[in-house]
Amino acid sequence: MHRAHRYRFYPTPEQEQQLARTFGCVRHVYNWALDLRSAAWSVGKERVGYHETARRLTLLKREPERAWLCEVSNVALQQSLRHLDKGFANFFAGRAKYPCFKSRRDHVQAASYMANGFTLRDGRLTLAKHDAPLDLRWSRPLPDGAKITSVTITRDAAARYHASILVDAPAQPLPVTDKAVGVDLGLLDLAVSSDGQRIANPRFAARKQTRIARWQRKLARKREAARAALGLTGKATPLGVRIPRSNNAAKLSRRIARIHATVRDARRDHLHKASTRLIRENQTVCVEDLAVSNMVKNDRLSRSISDVAWREFRGMLEYKAARCGRDLQAVSRWLPSSKRCSACGYTLESLPLSVRRWTCSRCGANHDRDLNAARNILAAGLAQQHEQRTAGLAGINACQASSDAT
């Protein structure tokens, strides 16, 4: 199975220039191909695929005014066309929106290289058309016997460089256990499990919000000063006019980006530790299939929901369960997990969010809201797992009966 290993590196000034040139060329080719495909469809209802754009890219590089495209690796340019093609495939399948143009002001700049676009020898990674290897910090070794399939170089808004090495390595299943757990995701706690464990929600972004707001106000004042210098105070920015940014404003932007990066890294580390523990200790993990994209539309809770990062946590559980031979069950979001008594099955008509404990009027059981929900999620997940296994056995028996009859 495929697995990405991410390493930070510190380029020299010459390598920074080479990478900036590569990012610019990759972005230019991506936008050129997107414009080509969009125009072909809008004018003649013609679908232009990857192979046609790759053929035209060869002609594009021969144009004298675009000779600078030959200064970077063709592998990275071809990969940008493949990424665009995948974006269109996701759009037509209903999994994503229509591809949009990339900008040099985007928070993340990236370039991807297939196996023929780099060399990795003795722990030294050298990209095609680069003179010197990158100074990677090997925080962990690559899996033994893993085959490297691609390398993606990124630069984030905090001016940090990373190399993401994608390897094809065999799955590493953990020893089978008979434990199963239900997990209720929340805002007071990141998660409450059916066995009574609580995973804290550190609220990383909320703790840095005052500092972020202070620097953002300073940056806004500098932007207003730049607009005033152009006579645009209280006016809309005319089309095609770009507000100049001073060096101090650029420094403020990088400072804000570094704070956001610190928050993001701390949150990701916390989620990794929590998800790894759940996967290691349990054979079956049951969670709610929450519609996070709809929940963040709530103005009062959107910031807290984004800070707790339920979707990222769910994604970690999914790929770690597949890698370790565990079963992740996602139960319906319409399950009344908080309102249903986990002891007798009685369901309340309503249960406000402010009520953290309640007593069942039928059996008298006193419930903690989140723990009760986790137990109901576990029961629903195990029932769903049983149905899946029963349906699978029925299908196998039907196939065997059909083969015996013939």
β pairing state of 284-288 and 327-331: parallel
Instruction: Please identify which of the residues 46, 168, 178, 184 carries the catalytic annotation.
Output: 184
* Helix H or strand E encompassing 162: strand 161-168
| Residue whose tokens read 């707001």 | 213
C-alpha–C-alpha distance, residues 14 and 92, integer Å:
41
* 224 is annotated as an active-site residue: no
Nearest residue to 80 (alpha-carbon basis) of 130, 129, 117 = 117
**Residue ranges of E strands in 115-156:** 118-121, 124-127, 147-155
Q: Helix or strand or coil: residue 213?
A: helix
Q: Helix or strand or coil: residue 288?
A: strand
- Total number of residues shown for the chain: 406
Structure tokens at 193: 């499990």
* 370 is annotated as an active-site residue: yes
Kindly report the number of other CB atoms within 10 A of residue 305's CB atom. Answer: 18
Specify whether the CB–CB gap between 203 and 309 falls below 8 A.
no
C-alpha–C-alpha distance, residues 321 and 330, integer Å:
12
Structure tokens at 394: 């029925």
Kindly report the number of other CB atoms within 10 A of residue 312's CB atom. Answer: 16
Instruction: Please identify which of the residues 52, 85, 135, 288 carries the catalytic annotation.
Output: 288
C-alpha–C-alpha distance, residues 391 and 406, integer Å:
23
Kindly report the number of other CB atoms within 10 A of residue 137's CB atom. Answer: 10
* 156 is annotated as an active-site residue: no
Specify whether the CB–CB gap between 271 and 308 falls below 8 A.
no
Instruction: Please identify which of the residues 16, 178, 370, 387 carries the catalytic annotation.
Output: 370
C-alpha–C-alpha distance, residues 71 and 112, integer Å:
16
Q: Which residues are catalytic?
A: 184, 288, 370
